[in-house]
Amino acid sequence: MYKLSLKRVIMILAICALGIFYSVPNFVKDAKTNLPSWWQPVNLGLDLQGGSSLLLAVDTKAALRDRMENLEDSARSALKETKIRYQSISSTEDGLRVKIDNPNNRAKALAPLRKMDDGLKVTEEGDTLVVMYDEPALNEIKLKLVDQSIEIVRKRIDEYGTNEPSIQSQGAGRILVQLPGVQNPEEVKALIGKTAKMSFHLVDSTTTPTEARRGKLKTSSRIIRGTLGEQYVIVKKPAVGGETLTDASVSFQDGDPAVSFKFNNLGAKKFGEVTKNNIGEQLAIVLDNEVISAPTIQSAITGGSGVITGNYTAETAQELALLLRSGALPAPLNILEERTVGAGLGTDSIKAGVEASIIGFIGVVIFLLVAYGLFGLFTTITVFLNLFLMLGALSLMGATLTLPGIAGIILTIGMAVDANVLIFERMREEVKAGRSIRDAIETGFTIAWGTIFDSNLTTLIAAAVLFYFGSGPVRGFAVTLTIGIVTSLFTSVTVTRLFITAWYNKYKPKALPI
């Protein structure tokens, strides 16, 4: 107690200096642009700096309809392999309807139809077999659609450069997107809403668009529009799916912006086989149900990469590359609600939070000075230091501060002195019991430590539960509360002990100033 080692003193001072250093950007004007990326202020949440909030709905019906269309092709192949004759196959988002007149063939078709995918059930309605997913499988598909949509939206928003977005599910089939600092969300809305679903289809050279419009269209083909208004007849089933893309970036062809893309091993193999077996045929590149290019295959392309050319600017090529990199949305997203939070509300929140912090701090300081005199002054200094350490830790973590986070900081101002109150009261008891000043100080820190640790541990457990089960602002409160507990333990025990030790060794007092 009476003498701290030089190594320990240096370590305590170094931690304090580091905390103050990382808190400095919070007091620098335009720190985001004027300071390096590793030395930045705390990020402010939507409720503090304003921004935009979007509530999106995942169109699961459209995704299920696409899934059933894919199953339609699988059903045709499965029945063809088992040599079962059928009259017709049609699909909706609710399931497939397979018409088979022969009762024996209907019975034989049950097994191959069920095997097409996990969770399928087949029921009979007269001469028609209805193929659909059972309830557990359907719920799992919908849940995956929402999870996949959240991840893809997150990738797009993060690459767009939005500051600390909050993206989370809200209710059944809904996604809440909060964009701090974004006052005009139109570009972000457009970016989120695009599906960027790319696939490669062989052009059906046996049927012209004119013949297709007259009804002479194979069941395996469909007519589709091009970017310039022209029409193509393409094979329904993709030759290569866009999900096999692994990367996309901007490149230049003859000085014009273009988009280069790469396949994974499976996609490269399929692309190589398609181009090898269909030399002289056209291969349509379909993006969001529109043909953007339909080049003629000149030779086998086995390198697993390609280039999309067109009337792109550098910006549109970059946007397309971003969409392809992040992947296709598994289902369309519909905007249910859009709110813009003005910066004035954030300013009012910050002002109210700062005022509350100042009032709380003044109240705590008055109490400390009246109740504990010089030791109260030491504690006041450590409370100031605690605030700097908290800001420094939040800045170093790149954390986002919300209004509940400010509440956590205010709470820790009061909690920061709890440990000192316990220590000082223990010192008073020891002096009354007849111990010397030195022994009373030593015992105060030693005996009170167990109680201090236990009380803060229970609060840490509560903060951990809030962080684990909470989301958004609740997690922000848990983070600031946790950091505040750790820093207050350091300042109220370690730093205060350093002050009192230095004071005692210099003045050798005859009585405690409390």
Q: Are 235 and 260 in contact (CB under 8 A)?
A: no
Q: Say if residue 395 is in the same domain as residue 499.
A: yes
pLDDT at 200: 87
pLDDT tens-digit map of 452-491:
888 889 999 999 998 888 766 788 888 889 999 999 999 9
Q: Say if residue 349 is in the same domain as residue 469.
A: yes
Reported as a pLDDT band with limits 50, 70 and 90, residue 193 is: low
Q: 277 lies in which domain range?
A: 194-337
Q: What is the CATH number of the domain that holds 215?
A: 3.30.1360.200
Q: Say if residue 492 is in the same domain as residue 359.
A: yes
User: Which two tokens mark 408?
Assistant: 């956590």
Minimum mean pLDDT range among 79-93, 196-210, 241-255: 241-255
Q: Say if residue 71 is in the same domain as residue 17.
A: no
In Å, how far are 178, 286, 324 from 329, measured between CA atoms?
19, 15, 10
- H-run or E-run covering 294: none
361 or 126: which leads in pLDDT: 126
Q: Say if residue 44 is in the same domain as residue 82.
A: no
User: Which two tokens mark 127?
Assistant: 């001469």
Neighbours of 50 (CB within 10 A): 21
pLDDT at 418: 84
Residue 162 confidence (pLDDT) above 60: no
Q: Per the domain annotation, does 375 fall within a domain?
A: yes
| In 115-134, alpha helices (H) | none
Q: Per the domain annotation, does 464 fall within a domain?
A: yes
- Cβ contacts of residue 497 below 8 Å, gap of 6+? 1, 4, 445
Sign of the CA dihedral with 333 first, then 179, 247, and 317 last: positive
Q: Say if residue 349 is in the same domain as residue 481.
A: yes
R_g of the chain computed on alpha carbons: 34
pLDDT at 346: 62
Q: What is the CATH number of the domain that holds 126?
A: 3.30.1240
Reported as a pLDDT band with limits 50, 70 and 90, residue 73 is: confident
Q: Per the domain annotation, does 446 fall within a domain?
A: yes
Q: Say if residue 373 is in the same domain as residue 232.
A: no
Q: Which residue, 96, 120, 139, sits at the end of a domain? A: 139
Q: Say if residue 332 is in the same domain as residue 239.
A: yes
The vertex-279 CA angle with 275 and 285, nearest 5°, equals 50
CA 49 to chain centre: 19
Residue 164 confidence (pLDDT) above 70: no
Reported as a pLDDT band with limits 50, 70 and 90, residue 23 is: very high
63 or 374: which leads in pLDDT: 374
User: Which two tokens mark 507?
Assistant: 């003045």
Reported as a pLDDT band with limits 50, 70 and 90, residue 325 is: low
Q: Per the domain annotation, does 173 fall within a domain?
A: no
pLDDT at 374: 93
Provide, rounded to the nearest whole percent, the portion of the chain with pLDDT above 70. Answer: 92
Residue 160 confidence (pLDDT) above 60: no
pLDDT at 163: 55
Q: Which residue, 298, 320, 337, sits at the end of a domain? A: 337
Q: Per the domain annotation, does 180 fall within a domain?
A: no
pLDDT at 391: 92
Q: Say if residue 309 is in the same domain as residue 220.
A: yes
pLDDT tens-digit map of 301-314:
788 887 777 777 88
pLDDT at 196: 58
Question: Rounded to an integer, what distance in angstroms lies between the CA atom of residue 498 and that of residue 36?
Answer: 34
Q: What is the CATH number of the domain that holds 432?
A: 1.20.1640.10
pLDDT at 323: 64
Q: Per the domain annotation, does 66 fall within a domain?
A: yes
Query: What is the average pLDDT score of the chain?
Result: 84
Q: Per the domain annotation, does 326 fall within a domain?
A: yes
pLDDT at 343: 61
Q: Say if residue 320 is in the same domain as residue 359.
A: no
Q: Which residue, 119, 139, 159, sits at the end of a domain? A: 139
Q: Say if residue 349 is in the same domain as residue 331.
A: no
Question: Rounded to an integer, what distance in angstroms lies between the CA atom of residue 337 and that of residue 260?
Answer: 36
How many independent structural domains does the chain possess? Answer: 3
Question: Rounded to an integer, what distance in angstroms lies between the CA atom of residue 42 and that of residue 191?
Answer: 27
Minimum mean pLDDT range among 112-126, 145-159, 221-235: 145-159
Residue 232 confidence (pLDDT) above 90: yes
pLDDT tens-digit map of 285-306:
887 788 877 878 878 878 888 7
List the beta bridge partners of residue 176: 55, 168
pLDDT at 337: 87
Question: pTM score, two decimals?
Answer: 0.60
Question: Rounded to an integer, what distance in angstroms lies between the CA atom of residue 155 and that of residue 134?
Answer: 32
| In 41-185, alpha helices (H) | 46-49, 60-81, 103-114, 135-160
List the beta bridge partners of residue 96: 91, 131
Q: Per the domain annotation, does 145 fall within a domain?
A: no
Q: Say if residue 308 is in the same domain as residue 384.
A: no
Residue 326 confidence (pLDDT) above 70: no
Sign of the CA dihedral with 375 first, then 379, 380, and 381 last: positive
The vertex-462 CA angle with 459 and 466, nearest 5°, equals 140
Reported as a pLDDT band with limits 50, 70 and 90, residue 425 is: very high
